[in-house]
Structure 1
Amino acid sequence: MSEHPSHTEETPRLNRTIGQLEGIKRMIGEGQYCVDILTQLRAVRSAIKTIELSVLETHMKSCLAKSCQCGDETQRDQQIGEIMLLLKKYE
């Protein structure tokens, strides 16, 4: 089994995002203004996208780079395919 890179540096960002979601939940419970709730939801979406891109960048720099260095074209092509599928889901 191959070792995967650590993403522990994302934990503070995840914790902040969880806090934002809790705040939105509280806003909804308090019946706050829709536009304010939507603004906060947009901020959470942006935060998650930042985390997601960081994990993808780490994957490309670590896992994909290792596949290229070891010359395993099959593994490299498989990982490129995985990345392409992920990107297609974002459309």
Structure 2
Amino acid sequence: MEHADKPRLLNRLNRIEGQVRGIARMMEQDRCCLDIMTQLHAVRAAVRRVESALLKKHLEDCLTDAMVSVDEAERHQKTAELIALMERHGR
């Protein structure tokens, strides 16, 4: 993964990691279940945003490059990868 968004996404993942540690502390401190669930929801949303950014970049760069390539095998491989990803994640 080489692109300009990499530092931003790594920073976001580090913040998510901190959020998860914070949730564990909340549980250890017997905090309100609703507060913990709110934080879990925030973590899921943050992970989805990172996932969406990565998918967008993949589509813009990797897949686009493959589609304009003269290498038919590469085009088929990238298409198959995208289909498999969508099947795994129910998109």
Q: 2:25 maps to what in 1?
A: 26
Q: Match of 1:5?
A: 2
The 3-state SS of whatever aligns with 2:2 is: coil
Residue 73 of structure 1: how far off its partner (Å): 2.4
Partner Cα separation in structure 2 for residue 11 and residue 78 of structure 1: 28
Q: Which has the higher contact order (CA 8 A, sep 6+)?
A: 1
| Cα distance change on mapping 1:24 and 1:57 into 2, 3 Å | same
Equivalent residue, structure 1, for 2:74:
75
| Offset from partner CA, 1:15-66 (integer Å, 9 cap, x none) | 1111110110110110111111111111100100100111111111111111
Are the aligned partners of 1:5 and 1:62 in contact in 2 as well (CA < 8 Å)? Answer: no
Structure 2 counterpart of 1:66: 65
RMSD: 1.4
**Could you state the TM-score of these two structures normalised by the residue count of structure 2?**
0.85
Shift of 1:84: 1.6
Give 5+ residue unaligned stretches, structure 1.
none
Between Structure 1 and Structure 2, how many residues are aligned?
88
**Aligned partner letter, 2:53:** S
- Percent sequence identity over matched residues? 35
Looking at structure 2, the residues matched to 70 and 85 of structure 1 have their Cα atoms a distance apart, in angstroms, of: 21
For residues 8 and 76 of structure 2, what CA distance do their matches in structure 1 show?
Answer: 28
Q: Bigger CA drift: 61-70 or 23-32?
A: 61-70
